[in-house]
Amino acid sequence: MSDRQYWLMKSEPDEYSIDDLERDGVEPWDGIRNYEARNNMRDKMNVGDGILFYHSRISPPEIVGTMEVASEPYPDPTQFDPDSKYFDEKSSEEDPRWKLVDVKFVQKFDEPVSRTAMKEEPALEEMVIFKRRRLSITPVTEAEWKKIHEMAGAEVK
């Protein structure tokens, strides 16, 4: 799997946390309503890609574990549900605007890696998360992936 790619995906733990994913095992990453984030899921991800799970909007924001892409892209069901806060009246079943992938729990870090710690690490200063403030799904390099695991004292999986 030499062509394995890596990603970072943000979630507010009040909405969906690493503990929720550990409990659920596999979960659709729904509710993404940003085109670039969608494009990453729809056009670039492959089953088996590694994903850093990032807790946002808490203090401190931190990487709390990892997951894996677990499906091909498919339409986000919440866009068709009028009762969902992610309902999109401009989308249709024939031409769905929003697609997502399923993610699978891999591991929870014993020592989460905070945004501050990441910022202080020179090897991570080029991370896309620091340049694209509001993008919730960003690419990660293999070197960054390994470095984060090292900082978490975790086995690279």
Partner DNA sequence: GCCAACGTTGGC
Q: Is 10 in the site for DNA (CB under 7 A)?
A: yes
- Residues that contact DNA, how many (by CB under 7 A): 18
CB 108 within 8 A of CB 22: yes
Name residues contacting DNA, limited to 101-130 (CB under 7 A): 115-116, 129
Q: For DNA, which is the closer residue by CB, 133 or 157?
A: 133
Judged by CB under 7 A, which of 1, 3, 14, 59 binds DNA?
59
Judged by CB under 7 A, which of 22, 91, 99, 132 binds DNA?
132
Angstrom distance (rounded) from CA 93 to CA 80: 7
| Buried b or exposed e, range 81-118, using 16+ CB within 10 angstroms | eeeeeeebeeeeeeeeebbbbbbbbbbbbeebbbbebb
Piece of 28-36, 71-79, 103-111, 147-155 that binds DNA (CB under 7 A): 28-36
Q: For DNA, which is the closer residue by CB, 4 or 57?
A: 57
68 DSSP β-pair partners: 50, 104
Judged by CB under 7 A, which of 30, 33, 71, 106 binds DNA?
33
Angstrom distance (rounded) from CA 63 to CA 76: 25
Position 131, amino acid: K
Judged by CB under 7 A, which of 19, 24, 36, 126 binds DNA?
36
Q: How many CB atoms lie within 10 A of CB 50?
A: 21
Q: Which residues bind DNA (CB under 7 A)?
A: 10, 33-36, 56-59, 61, 115-116, 129, 132-136
